[in-house]
Chain A
Amino acid sequence: MEVALFVPCYVDQFYPGAARATLELLEKLGVTVRYPEGQTCCGQPMANSGYEHLAGGCNENFVERFSGYDYIISPSGSCVLHLKEHLHSEKHPVQGEEIRHRIFELTEFLTDILKVEELDARFPHKVGVHQSCHGQRGLKLSQMSELTAPAFSKPGKLLHLVKDIELVELDRIDECCGFGGTFCVAEEAVSVKMGKDRVADHLRHGAEYITGADMSCLMHMEGILRRNKSNTKVIHIAEILNSH
């Protein structure tokens, strides 16, 4: 199986460790991973700010780089959701449409396509799981607390395969952290307050690490943790699943 790895722009620049872990994990599971040269951004920063019409360049670039693969995998629920919902190409409409069906967030690819049932990973720490909204409510990676429906969690299922990990319970299992793209600066006060409250829930329950399938939420919470000189760290779920 040949897959293409899409590393979101800010992950490439600020969190290369999450991307490396994704690549190594997929390779460990026997997947041939290509990293298409010249990839940039999914276009969401513009689109969510109301400038979807300016995302055309990103769209065309994405379609050119990522056409023709069996699957496209990305360690970000938010970028994947955006592409699934909004990617389109004037130049290559068919390929654009195809990508929307072939792109997967990492954990859903592991559980739904690779059907991973065991992992050679060990992470002897207390970990809080942050449910990023776009992955959870958009891609349905986990059941949502608002609905009357059976519980499930794709990231949770994978974390349970990791040896010696202790997952902490939270008071609010799926409240938004307040990152929200440009919301994080446009609505600075509310964004920071939401982040502080989310972080506090994890700290209250003794988390040494906060993990999740979206680095953007983790970046926001890391900013708050570090401002408060907390010892608790953020870590992308790929890094835990790839840990030894």
Chain B
Amino acid sequence: MQANEKKHHTLADHFNADEARVDWHDKTLWFVRTKRDRLTHDLLEWEELRDTASQIKSHVLSNLSQYLEEFEQKASANGVVVHWAADAEEHNNIVFNLLKKQGIDRMVKSKSMLTEECHLNDYLAKQGIEVIDSDLGERIVQLAKEMPSHIVLPCIHKKKEEIGDLFHEHLGTEAGVSDPQILTETARQHLRDVFITRKAALTGVNFAIAETGEMVICTNEGNADMGAHLSNIHIASMGIEKIIPKRAHLGVFLRLLTRSATGQPITTYSSHFKKPRKGQEMHVILVDNGRSRQLGRTNFRNSLKCIRCGACMNTCPVYRRSGGHSYHNAVSGPIGSILAPNLDMKEFSDLPFASTLCGSCSNVCPVKIDIHDQLYKWRQELVKAGYTDKKKTVAMKLMAATLSSPTKFKLAGKLGRLTLKYAPFTVNNGLNPWYKGREMPAPPKESFSEWYANRGKDKKI
């Protein structure tokens, strides 16, 4: 794709070509937001829980190396093999070598945004290893050869009729069938076969407890459990920020996670994996991939508190009307927009600007990440680093010069209310993005300052 075609505003523009679909997407996600509100508003201690979780995460981020080492020691003692990966490539290599050693060329994988971030499936496919995603939403986007559009609801952009078509093509359902009951039963049978026949399972990790060396994996479908329990080798991939100090802290996060994500009191399955069963291998890969760099960025380190609930996406009025794919990153929405520039400032320089800075994201965030403030700060960083349009820089300099000088400001105003002449809502033409969908303000005959200057002498002070 050309550079500009891949930018958020262009992709969002395409998404908006079908307004009825935008309405449907918006309403679907708003429904999830309102479910979240119903559950959280009933919980008097909700804001206290958010505070507590945020503080626990602050503590972890300040003592990360210590907790990681504690986790490594405890997990190793439990019989889990601990691997460290500095980046995506190392992570992918570790997975590949573990599979190769066992002569395995087919693997089942439950939801793991980290492996999306590392592009593991593509990498393994090139090595001749087939990966089947077992989360239903992820399986659907995998069949469609797409990326997840949402971290919790990967195929939320797809209508059931489109899923029916995919299942007809790939899983043999009758043409035109879109009954969710039939489709889920079909997926169930298909995945049962996958679970039984795969010797290797990869899962993500929601929380890793330093105190005990155990990993907690949350799913609604039980697919992580099915894969892991039936496998000879279970590989768990986790970002290094997933550590929590003690088991006692888990309750705080489990109460927050699914209420924020989908408006459920708790995930259907919150499974603890502590040690391999007899004859099984259990591995955990601790992945950095830019996280320690982000930890070193004072303005952005709090982004590492994220527990991947997706609440910021559901509430984001821009996300709901631009779709997850418009963020062209594994993690989309507001949180993706503050995480992605850390991975590649140039490629993701557009994302911090894909926001009105309304602040709703920060308010729903269960770990109180200052998301909208970080978006503002990323904008400053990206401009300083030279990753924004040069024409915009010229326009901004002219605007700043006009607005910082009372004389220039007055003069510009006199020239037919052109004060904001570098803001495009002053011209009525087809090239003006403001005018495409909006009328411009009707210019009054005098500005306030002109009116004030002419105000009756008795009134003037």
Name A's B-contacting residues (CB within 8 A).
7, 9-17, 19-20, 23, 32-35, 37-41, 43, 45-58, 60-61, 133-134, 137-138, 144-149, 172, 174-176, 178-197, 219-220, 222-224, 226-227
Q: Do A14 and B441 touch (CB < 8 A)?
A: yes
Complex: A220 Cα to B441 Cα, angstroms: 9
**Given A50-B380, A145-B37, A179-B356, A12-B9 contact (CB < 8 Å):** no
Q: List 10 A-B contacts (CB under 8 A).
A: A13-B417, A33-B461, A34-B461, A40-B406, A53-B380, A57-B404, A146-B37, A188-B9, A194-B318, A226-B439
**Contacts of A7 on B, CB cut-off 8 Å?**
448-449
**Contacts of A32 on B, CB cut-off 8 Å?**
461
Q: Do B405 and A40 touch (CB < 8 A)?
A: yes
Contact mask B322-358 → A, CB, 8 Å, 1/0?
Answer: 1000000000000000000000000000001111111
> Which chain A residue has the least Cβ–Cβ distance from B378?
A50
Complex: A149 Cα to B37 Cα, angstroms: 12
**Contacts of B269 on A, CB cut-off 8 Å?**
none
Per a CB cutoff under 8 Å, which of B321, B446, B451 touches A194?
B321
Complex: A178 Cα to B26 Cα, angstroms: 14
**Given A38-B406, A149-B47, A180-B357, A51-B433 contact (CB < 8 Å):** no
Complex: A7 Cα to B447 Cα, angstroms: 11
Q: Do A193 and B19 touch (CB < 8 A)?
A: yes
**Contacts of A187 on B, CB cut-off 8 Å?**
8-9, 12, 318, 322, 353-354
CB distance from A58 to the nearest CB of B (A): 5
Q: Do B26 and A189 touch (CB < 8 A)?
A: no
Q: Do B26 and A197 touch (CB < 8 A)?
A: yes
Name B's A-contacting residues (CB within 8 A).
8-9, 12-13, 15-16, 19, 22, 26, 30, 37, 40-41, 43-44, 46-47, 315, 317-318, 321-322, 352-360, 362-364, 376, 379-380, 382-384, 388, 392-393, 396-397, 399-401, 403-406, 409, 413, 417, 419-420, 423-425, 432-434, 436-441, 443-444, 446-449, 451-452, 461
Q: Do A49 and B359 touch (CB < 8 A)?
A: no
**Contacts of A43 on B, CB cut-off 8 Å?**
403
**Contacts of A176 on B, CB cut-off 8 Å?**
317, 356, 358, 360
Q: Given known contacts A9-B403, A187-B354, A227-B437, what 17 new A-B pairs fall within 8 Å (CB)?
A: A7-B448, A13-B413, A13-B417, A33-B461, A34-B461, A41-B409, A46-B403, A50-B379, A50-B388, A61-B404, A146-B363, A146-B364, A180-B356, A187-B8, A187-B9, A195-B438, A222-B439
Q: Do B461 and A17 touch (CB < 8 A)?
A: no
Complex: A194 Cα to B360 Cα, angstroms: 14
**Contacts of B356 on A, CB cut-off 8 Å?**
133, 176, 178-181, 183, 191, 194
In the A-B complex, list the 4 residue pairs whose CB atoms are closest, starting with the nearest: A57-B404, A223-B438, A180-B356, A50-B379
CB distance from A133 to the nearest CB of B (A): 4
Q: Do A220 and B438 touch (CB < 8 A)?
A: yes
Q: Do A45 and B434 touch (CB < 8 A)?
A: no
Per a CB cutoff under 8 Å, which of A19, A145, A188 touches B13?
A188
Per a CB cutoff under 8 Å, which of B41, B434, B443, B461 touches A184?
B434
**Given A12-B413, A148-B44, A188-B433, A39-B404 contact (CB < 8 Å):** no
Per a CB cutoff under 8 Å, which of A55, A61, A149, A196 touches B406?
A61
Complex: A149 Cα to B50 Cα, angstroms: 13
CB distance from B456 to the nearest CB of A (A): 13
> Which chain B residue has the least Cβ–Cβ distance from A192?
B437
Complex: A10 Cα to B19 Cα, angstroms: 31
Q: Do B439 and A180 touch (CB < 8 A)?
A: no
**Contacts of A222 on B, CB cut-off 8 Å?**
439, 441
Q: Do B448 and A190 touch (CB < 8 A)?
A: no
Per a CB cutoff under 8 Å, which of A56, A183, A195 touches B355?
A183
Complex: A48 Cα to B358 Cα, angstroms: 12
**Contacts of B384 on A, CB cut-off 8 Å?**
53
Per a CB cutoff under 8 Å, which of B388, B396, B405 touches A46?
B396
Q: Do B30 and A172 touch (CB < 8 A)?
A: yes
**Contacts of B447 on A, CB cut-off 8 Å?**
12-13, 16
Per a CB cutoff under 8 Å, which of A179, A193, A195 touches B22?
A193
**Given A15-B441, A183-B353, A175-B13 contact (CB < 8 Å):** no
Complex: A17 Cα to B441 Cα, angstroms: 13
Q: Do A11 and B404 touch (CB < 8 A)?
A: no
Q: Do B318 and A58 touch (CB < 8 A)?
A: no
**Contacts of A189 on B, CB cut-off 8 Å?**
9, 12-13, 15-16, 322
Q: Do A137 and B403 touch (CB < 8 A)?
A: no
Pick the most buried of A54, A149, A188: most chain B CB atoms within 10 A of its CB.
A188
Complex: A16 Cα to B423 Cα, angstroms: 19
Complex: A213 Cα to B440 Cα, angstroms: 20
Complex: A55 Cα to B379 Cα, angstroms: 14
Pick the most buried of A20, A189, A223: most chain B CB atoms within 10 A of its CB.
A189
Complex: A148 Cα to B44 Cα, angstroms: 7
Complex: A186 Cα to B389 Cα, angstroms: 11
**Contacts of B446 on A, CB cut-off 8 Å?**
16
CB distance from A187 to the nearest CB of B (A): 5
Per a CB cutoff under 8 Å, which of B360, B376, B393, B409 touches A137?
B360
**Contacts of B444 on A, CB cut-off 8 Å?**
14-17
Q: Do A12 and B448 touch (CB < 8 A)?
A: yes
Q: Do A48 and B448 touch (CB < 8 A)?
A: no
Q: Do A51 and B400 touch (CB < 8 A)?
A: yes
CB distance from B326 to the nearest CB of A (A): 9
**Contacts of A182 on B, CB cut-off 8 Å?**
423
Q: Do A40 and B383 touch (CB < 8 A)?
A: no
**Contacts of B443 on A, CB cut-off 8 Å?**
13-14
Q: Do A194 and B317 touch (CB < 8 A)?
A: yes
